[in-house]
Amino acid sequence: RYAERLCMMAYERRGSDMPPQRRLLRTQTAGNLGESMMDSEVVPSSLVEIAPILRVANEVEHINARVAYLCRFYAFEKAHRLDAQSSGRGVRQFKTALLQRLQKEDETSKQERKGSDAREMRNFYQLYYRKYIEALQNAADKADRARLTKAYQTASVLFDVLKAVNRAESVELDEEIIQKHIKVSEKAEIYAPYNILPLDLESSHQPIMQNAEIQASVAALRNIRGLQWPKGHVKKTGEDILDWLQVMFGFQKDNVANQREHLILLLANVHSRQPMPDQQPKLDDRTLTEVMKKLFKNYKKWCRYHGRKSSLWLPTIQQEVQQRKLLYMGLYLLIWGEAANLRFMPECLCYIYHHMAFEMYGMLSGSISPMTGETIKPAYGGDEEAFLKKIITPIYDVIAQEAERSRNGTAKHSDWRNYDDLNEYFWSHNCFRLGWPMRVQADFFSLPIKNGADRNEDTDSPRGDGWIGKINFVETRSFLHLYRSFHRMWSFFILALQAMIVLAWNGSGNISGIFDGDVFKKVLSIFITSPILNFVQAILDVIMSWSARKSMTLHVKLRYIMKVFSSAVWVVVLPITYAYTWKNPPGIAQTIKNWFGNSAGHPSLFLVALLIYLSPNILSALLFVFPFIRRLLERSDYKIVRLIMWWSQPRLFLGRGMQESSFSVFKYTIFWVLLLAAKLAFSFYLEIKPLVGPTKQIMQVVVIKYKWHEFFPQARHNIGVVIALWAPIVI
């Protein structure tokens, strides 16, 4: 018999894994492997294909236990074909429990059958077709349609089981049953499962499909007039624009179904907000314009950033404009729906869409390719799943291999690329070197070469021929980031401390002493310290960005060099010009003047140098006070504006024009001005000024020999005591 033969075949195929004479008990398997394990919802992920069969077995069990048994045995055989070694997670336990249940049900179900298993299955199939399929043919509402859809799926499973049983018993299928199955297959394809909208032709009477907005969107999508289908294409009833895109570019069937509903609902949502003077189910042009504006906002910004025209070309014939807009939107949604992890790389999707939309424009306009002399066709063809296999998969493989190189995040940040690094490649004009179709030999697809001479057995060399590495940012782990990341804060506090000490030490010791000419000149000594701090910052920028030097563009490298050079120039120019503002300069200013000659002072020269030195800061302050101006400058794609902004920050695609409103900036500024004023007043009057008098007295005390003279062999003015006294205040 069929069941006995399959059982023996199953035992033979399992080999030593489970000998036939050994009967496994439920206590010998992990977990509770009772009848609940047969539920179609708890099937192991690797055996998901047998879930519909088990669902049918559960449904028909109360009607015919033998048919339910045969369905489960067919599911067992299919599970064994899918995973013969039981290597999947939970597969061994699942198959063991299923086999136990089959052994239990075999004897009890035999008593209820009439004739052979093949006859039992044939009679039940005919009964099910007559009772459920024919009775529900004229479905009037969504509930009946859902039942009919489920009935078609069940009938398809029953036919597969019937075919397997007849094959095992060498019985031919009746022609009547074959014809019924053909009808069921045709109807099952029409009554496919859906998310929200039943878009098959026989569901037009459903309540949701009666909405004017839905009808208008569906009618617009089904306008395929003028679209050239490939040769050999078999046209079907109800085809629309997305079906044409699927055939031409090779998108997946389920992706097309999902994005069809997505696009219809987007259009219907916007269309419902438009004033409709008539009740004709026609899609409003304003609806298409609004959806396109939101959908292609980032793509258009990306095109402007690269100085390229977008591929959204519209025809001059007004009747074709709506169809063309729907084609552009449908293509973008299909790319996004099938992009998988590439959705984390939006500019990469912009690059893909840019070329595919241009190809579509060439096909619709009948353009001739200069390379082949034929009508333009998609570079990757329209084969089944061509988009996934030929476009998405190569880029995804690069992502996977780079993630593997990270060693779960333990590798150096400069040795591997994450999503952001790969996406930033498409911020550069170099991305167009990839070409279309994309060149596999391009630097984007290059990976570091394994070097056996310079590595251990399982360690890759950090660089390889053609590997572009990081693009804009490379993290270098260092405690120097404590200064570099907060450079402006450190500079402000150091210069403020220097100015307060100068004020407290000279003149009356009050803040009003700044109006004294000599005291004010001494306060200006902070502009000797300031360029030194900027020089340190420029050097740290070069050190921290050294790992990215190979992938930097020329203008970024030039910016770093110019920063170092200009800060080094100011370190020399400002101290010299400051020294010549004094007739009798104090301290280090006299030393500088001695180096360059004791000629007459030129205070105006220092003021001119200071004005030039502070001009970038003055401009930044003005742009900070008026953020809308900076927002416009950062978002601008004009070359002259790029040149002006080049010095202040590198040009990036993201993060431009993110300033707050003027009122928010005003509140922010008032808060910090009040906070810093209170802090500096506290430091000046309660920390710095009280120490000035004692410090002067300590420095006047003469000490001929220190007890620990090894630490201060030539110390003057009790410098060790002064350092110990001021160290807590400075810190």
pLDDT in tens, 509-541: 788 877 887 888 888 888 889 999 999 999 998
User: What's at 107, amino acid-wise?
Assistant: E
* 637: nearest Cα among 300, 242, 204, 270: 300
Place of tokens 């070409």: 435
Confidence of residue 355 (pLDDT cuts 50, 70, 90): very high
Kindly tell me if the per-residue pLDDT of 457 is higher than 70: no
Mean pLDDT, to the nearest integer, of 216-234? 87
Rounded distance, CA 389 to CA 301, Å?
A: 29
- pLDDT for residue 601: 55
pLDDT per residue as tens digits for the range 377-392? 888 877 888 999 999 9
Place of tokens 């928010």: 664
Mean pLDDT, to the nearest integer, of 608-631?
83
Taking 60 as the threshold, does the pLDDT of residue 659 lie above it?
Answer: yes
What is the number of helices (H) and of strands (E) in the chain? 29, 0
> Which residues, in sequence order, are CB contacts of 446 under 8 Å at separation 6+?
464, 465, 466, 467, 468
Give yes or no for residue 18 having a pLDDT over 60.
no
Does the pLDDT value for residue 464 go beyond 50?
A: no
**The two structure tokens encoding residue 43:** 């099937």
**Confidence grade of residue 454 (pLDDT, cut at 50, 70, 90):** very low
Q: Mean per-residue pLDDT for 38-61? A: 81
Task: Specify the higher pLDDT residue, 535 or 551.
Answer: 535
How far, CA to CA in Å, does 18 sit from each of 75, 79, 99, 336, 483? 19, 16, 11, 47, 67
Amino acid found at 561: I
Q: How far is it, in rounded angstroms, from Cα 727 to Cα 21?
A: 87
Q: What is the DSSP letter of 45?
A: G
First to last CA, the chain: 92
pLDDT in tens, 375-428: 778 888 778 889 999 999 999 988 888 888 888 877 777 778 888 888 888 888
Share of the chain above pLDDT 90, in %: 18
Partnered with residue 375 across adjacent β-strands are 368
pLDDT at 326: 94
Tell me the pLDDT band of 450, cut-offs 50, 70 and 90: low
**Mean of the per-residue pLDDT values of the chain:** 79
Instruction: Write down the pLDDT at residue 27.
Output: 30
Give one DSSP letter per residue of 267-320, joined into a string.
HHHHHTTS--SS------HHHHHHHHHHHTHHHHHHHHHHT---S----SSHHH
Section 64-87 average pLDDT: 88
Q: What is the mean pLDDT of residues 30-36?
A: 37
Residues 574/528, Cβ–Cβ less than 8 Å: yes
Read off the pLDDT band of 731 (50, 70, 90): confident
Residue 502, φ and ψ in degrees, nearest 5: -60, -45
Model confidence at 308: pLDDT above 70: yes
pLDDT of residue 305: 87
Please state which of the ranges 152-161, 182-191, 415-424, 519-528 shows the lowest mean pLDDT.
Answer: 182-191
* pLDDT band at residue 715 using 50, 70 and 90 as cut-offs: low
Q: Give the number of other Cβ atoms within 10 Å of residue 640's Cβ.
A: 8
**Burial 212-240, CB ≥16 within 10 A → b, else e:** ebbbbbbebbebeeebeeeeeeeeeeebb
- Is pLDDT above 70 for 704? no
Residue found under tokens 């729907």 = 326
Does the pLDDT of residue 452 top 70, yes or no? no
pTM, full prediction = 0.71
pLDDT confidence tier of residue 142, bands split at 50, 70 and 90: very low
Q: pLDDT-derived band of residue 11, with 50, 70 and 90 as boundaries?
A: very low
- CA atoms of 428 and 448, how far apart (whole Å): 21
Residue 277, pLDDT score? 55
With cut-offs at 50, 70 and 90, classify the pLDDT of residue 458: very low
**Whole-angstrom distance, CA of residue 252 vs CA of residue 393:** 14
- 282/291 Cα distance (integer angstroms): 16
Q: Give the pLDDT band of residue 103 (cuts 50, 70, 90).
A: confident
